[in-house]
Chain A
Amino acid sequence: MTEKKIKVLVAKPGLDGHDRGAKVVARALRDAGMEVIYTGLRQTPEMIAEAALQEDVDVVGLSILSGAHMALTPRLMDLLKKNGQSNVQVFIGGIIPDEDVQRLKEMGVRGVYGPGASTEDIIRDVKMSVAG
């Protein structure tokens, strides 16, 4: 039997233009031995949840710079639950005000990272979240 790989979906919801940050994280996770499905720009919560379902991922990582995190995240969490994937761990990277970080965590978001976060921290947290 092959060793179980950690599968991560990296998505860029919202309308803001570039995905440099998301790509950096995607490559860092790959270099940590994970299988990263990269879905590109302008993903709706529906598209992200559908991809998470088809790919049977352990983790979804969102890169949100547009400030739309409070609109997009609850919708995604609902869809994941509806699809029977409440086990999927959700991480968010972006510019998120402190007061929102707490609310996102209450919604079940596992980790929130600002622009200065180190990829080592992200990798460690992702691994830990999947281990249990």
Chain B
Amino acid sequence: MTSFQAILEGDRLALSRLLTQVENDAPESRAALIELFPHTGRAHLIGVTGAPGTGKSSLVNQLALHYRKAKDKRVAVIAVDPTSPFSGGAVLGDRVRMRDLAGDPGVFIRSMATRGSLGGLAQSTANVARVFDAAGFDIVVIETVGAGQSEVDIARLAHTTLVVEAPGLGDDIQAIKAGILEIADILVVNKADRPGVEATEKALKSMLELAHPARRVFRHHGIEMETPLYQVESRHPLWIPPIQRTISIDGGGVPELVEAIERHASYLAQSGDRALRERARLEAELEGLIREELVERFRREISAARYEKVLEQILQRELSPGEAVKLLLNGRFK
């Protein structure tokens, strides 16, 4: 029996070992990923990002609890933390906040370090999510600390991206990072039990209004017309990220948040956005793999000595880099 068949039959150790192989990009994992690919594309991937300490892990804990109890969904959690650039090691501490999920066979939590990757996800995070998807988890939640590029990575991978804010982190517009509106499908104000929720919410609202003016004016046969926001697109309304308040120490606001996630999921399905994103994602993956494969083939075919010699010629200005490429490839990869 292959490991994938064992996983389909609920073998959690086999699942866990395959995740490790995928994470290490081990040769065995390549075959398994091919075998399980036809079974993917069913799970809903939820990205959870935001500044350190805003309560992401606590929120993931509550989300998973709600999906288990009220929705009867199987939930996988991928908690990503950065690798130390100095030692290559990492302390992965998100599980501390997820202890309510212990003992439930419908939940699987896996911590991951970013390893060599520059963004907030590891190179293999997408494939790890894919394994969970094929293994029959309905919901895959991916937590990552929001910092720079990482937010874009998570938004590209997830179907629904939650950006988590909390009161007291400096509630003016400048403090809330520019760019989050481009990636947030839902804005979460967590720690709503704390003073200052209104201020945080207000700051988010005014950012939203800047990005999505409430009314748009346009010209139609020379006549100025105004439309309410929800009719801007003729076929389907625009998605305006809702702001949801949550209290992750007791689960307050979490049912409403899950409703918002479900609304977003049906928006994605009806608008055709889900299919478009899927296409863009798979195409980017295909392109990346082609590039990798071509470079590998190139390295196999061209000897290091030859390569060095051509490089030397470029340095001596005997060849331009462009000519050198033609020479090295010798018409092979047209």
Task: Write out the residue numbers on chain B whose beta carbons fall within 8 Å of the beta carbon of A53.
Answer: 12-13, 16
- Interface with B: A23-31, A93-101, A113-121, which one? A23-31
Is there contact, CB below 8 Å, between B24 and A2? Answer: yes
Q: How far is the CB of B170 from chain A (nearest CB, A)?
A: 28
Is there contact, CB below 8 Å, between B91 and A27? Answer: yes
Q: How far is the CB of B110 from chain A (nearest CB, A)?
A: 6
CA distance A26 to B116 in the complex (A): 21
Contact of A40 with B by CB under 8 A: yes
With known contacts A1-B25, A37-B111, A55-B110, A30–B91 Cβ distance under 8 A: yes
CA distance A30 to B108 in the complex (A): 24
Task: Write out the residue numbers on chain A whose beta carbons fall within 8 Å of the beta carbon of B24.
Answer: 1-2, 4-5
Is there contact, CB below 8 Å, between B13 and A47? Answer: no
CA distance A26 to B87 in the complex (A): 13
CA distance A104 to B93 in the complex (A): 28
| Interface footprint category on B | 20 to 34
With known contacts A2-B24, A37-B111, A56–B92 Cβ distance under 8 A: no
Is there contact, CB below 8 Å, between A2 and B96? Answer: no
Contact of B26 with A by CB under 8 A: yes
Contact of A36 with B by CB under 8 A: yes
Contact of A84 with B by CB under 8 A: yes
A4, closest chain B residue (CB): B24
Task: Write out the residue numbers on chain A whose beta carbons fall within 8 Å of the beta carbon of B311.
Answer: none
Chain A binding surface, main DSSP class: mixed
Is there contact, CB below 8 Å, between A54 and B109? Answer: yes
Task: Write out the residue numbers on chain A whose beta carbons fall within 8 Å of the beta carbon of B13.
Answer: 53, 83-85
Pick the residue among A29, A43, A54 that contacts B16 (CB under 8 A): A54
Task: Write out the residue numbers on chain A whose beta carbons fall within 8 Å of the beta carbon of B115.
Answer: 2, 5
A28, closest chain B residue (CB): B89
Q: How far is the CB of B87 from chain A (nearest CB, A)?
A: 5
Contact of B127 with A by CB under 8 A: no
Is there contact, CB below 8 Å, between A40 and B90? Answer: no
Task: Write out the residue numbers on chain A whose beta carbons fall within 8 Å of the beta carbon of B103.
Answer: 46-47, 50
Is there contact, CB below 8 Å, between A38 and B92? Answer: yes
With known contacts A36-B90, A55-B111, A84-B13, A1–B95 Cβ distance under 8 A: no
Pick the residue among A5, A36, A50 that contacts B91 (CB under 8 A): A36
CA distance A34 to B113 in the complex (A): 10
Listed by A's residue number, 13 A-B pairs whose Cβ atoms lie within 8 Å are A1-B25, A1-B27, A30-B90, A31-B89, A34-B89, A35-B83, A35-B89, A37-B95, A39-B96, A47-B99, A47-B103, A51-B102, A83-B13
Residues of A within 8 A of B (CB): 1-2, 4-5, 7, 26-27, 29-40, 43, 46-47, 50-51, 53-56, 83-85
